[in-house]
Amino acid sequence: MAVQLDSLVQGEGSIVSRELFWRPDIYELELERIFAKSWAFLCHESQIPNKGDFFSTYIGEDSVLVVRQADGSIRAFLNVCRHRGMKISTADEGNVRSFTCTYHGWTFDLGGALVSVPNIEKSFNGRLRTEDWSLQPVSKLENYRGLIFGNFDPEAVSLKEYLGDMALYLDLLLDREGGTEVYGGVQKWRVQTNWKIPAENFVTDGMHLAPTHTAAVLALAPEEFDVTKVPGFGTSTYFTSTGHGGVVNDADAESQRRGLNAMLGPALAEYYYGLAERLRPKYGAMASYVHNIGSATIFPNFSWLAGRQTLRVWHPKGPQETEVWTWTLVNSECSEELKKQQRRTSVQTFGPSGIFEQDDAENWSQCTATMRGYVGRKLTMPYLAGQDNGDAKHPGKTLSAGNGGASEGAGRSFYRHWLQVMTSRGR
């Protein structure tokens, strides 16, 4: 039976059915129409600096290997042996000269070509042409300021076109003298929730900050910190027409500075304020984004936290489970001590046992648990906060202002685009 989607997202994204988050048929359609056709963040180039370095990741539920080639270029392939479908690498990362499947011994070179099959002449008697059974490549691969993105769709638009106006926010995250790098590897854990719930949280949900995280902020804050100045209900969202967007905090500058000091420590916080001043001639008022206590998502499932330099991918693992991967991004120009402090802060706040992360995971898993009941899963949800309008501070994008409260404008955009892609009316 065909999946009827139009009734599940109404009012231009302002009313969303909870059926989006638990139905297996919808999830399977997402793997086909969203993940197999969208640009996905794979890894940072600093994770594979040398010939033969590889990193194992996913696009949707397809296992993917990202590999540094002999000439320094980067390629990506399905981590699937062409013989019987075994993973050709079960390691998360490493360095190799070639990949050999442990099932039947087929060997592939760094470029994905099948170069060896045990007893090929005796077993196949000339019927197996090795050139026909290379690894399946990721059709398109692009490097954006050190971030490697891939797309299975050979007809997909370029990454630059896909990002659109959202590229400005990536530039503010990544445009650094000397570039950026991943520090300390990847943390991974699972949450019993649909992938869209955390992706939506990062794209639009500024209103949860004070109710959910006040205790965590106070745990980090100095004794004289004023709880009434915890940022939270002065948030706006920005978004593009293709589902990307994020939250910016509209609290006064003093409150934001105090909040960043509490979360990062004075030395690291002041570094980012100094960095913003260095970037101001190029980016103007937007340079303040580098220390704004906000978040962002590039549709469908790549997110980051501004100021905290935390990258996220929400890997789907079924309709009600998500594997969270998080990286600590540091500026290459930073001292070793500041890099270590950034990593410590990331683990303490947004690692699997981080004081903020546990708050969020509890929310997301409980939102999912209430969908187990027949009546609860049939409810709809409102995304009505904030007014959508243009704003000169956010050129080229629509700003949804909270007017002293919070906005869900980017959430409306996220689900509008979800519906367009799922019904094949947009890409």
Of the two residues 5 and 219, the one the predictor is more confident about is: 5
The set of residues, in sequence order, having a beta carbon less than 8 Å from that of 71 and lying 6+ positions away, is none
Q: What is the pLDDT of residues 349-380, one digit of tens each?
A: 888 888 888 899 999 999 999 999 999 999 99
What residue segments make up the domains of the chain, in order of their start? 40-143, 165-422
Q: Residue 251 has what pLDDT? A: 67
Q: Residue 253 has what pLDDT? A: 75
Bridge partner list, 94: 54
| Residue 213 near residue 293, CB atoms below 8 Å | no
Q: Residue 426 has what pLDDT? A: 46
**Which of 267, 292, 258 has the alpha carbon at shortest distance from 173?**
292
Q: Residue 395 has what pLDDT? A: 47
For 165-422, give the CATH class.
alpha beta
d(CA 332, CA 181): 6
Q: What is the pLDDT of residues 8-48, one digit of tens each?
A: 999 999 999 999 999 999 999 999 999 999 999 999 999 99
Q: What is the pLDDT of residues 172-196, one digit of tens each?
A: 999 999 999 999 999 999 999 999 9
Q: What is the 3-state secondary structure (H, E, C) of 146-195?
A: CEEEEECCCCCCCHHHHHHHHHHHHHHHHCCCCCEEEEEEEEEEEECCCC
**Which of 32, 9, 78, 35 has the alpha carbon at shortest distance from 299?**
35
Unique residue bearing structure tokens 């390691």:
91
pLDDT interval class at 263 (50, 70, 90): confident
d(CA 427, CA 420): 7
Q: Which residues are catalytic?
A: 104, 205, 208, 213, 360
Note the CATH number of domain 40-143: 2.102.10.10
Average pLDDT, the chain: 90
pLDDT interval class at 407 (50, 70, 90): confident
345, 349, 352, 357 alpha-carbon torsion, rounded to 10° = -160
Question: Helix, strand, or coil here: 376?
Answer: helix
d(CA 141, CA 137): 10
Under DSSP, the state recorded for 135 is P
Q: What is the pLDDT of residues 197-255, one digit of tens each?
A: 999 999 998 888 778 887 777 777 666 666 565 544 456 778 888 899 998 876 667 77
pLDDT interval class at 343 (50, 70, 90): very high
Percent with pLDDT over 90 in the chain: 70
d(CA 272, CA 259): 13
